[in-house]
Amino acid sequence: MGEKFPLLSAREIVSALHKVGFVEVSQSGSHKKLKNSSDPPRTVIIPMHDEVARGTLRSILQQADIDLEVFLNLF
């Protein structure tokens, strides 16, 4: 059985990504761009909504190369 992705706000997601080394690069409208310093650098785009869809969170974590379990332990 697959793990369930939670419904989180964009602020919660950004806060968790800050803890693993992502920094804000820019913002265009309601989308914030974060980047880390890995080799090669990873870039993720976060829609700054009150509630981010589960599929969008799954995509963000894939782009960031972060396991769901590791991500949930950041809270």
Q: Which residues are CB-contacts of 53 (< 8 A; sequence separation ≥ 6)? A: 7
> What is the fold, at CATH topology level, of the domain defined by 10-72?
Metal Transport, Frataxin; Chain A (3.30.920)
Cis upstream peptide for 47 (omega within 30°): no
Q: Where are the domains of the chain?
A: 10-72
pLDDT, tens only, 24-37: 999 999 999 999 99
pTM, rounded to two decimals = 0.90
pLDDT-derived band at 1 (thresholds 50, 70, 90) equals very low
Interatomic CA distance for residues 12 and 75, integer angstroms = 9
Q: Exposed/middle/buried for 52, CB within 10 Å: 0-12, 13-18, 19+?
A: buried
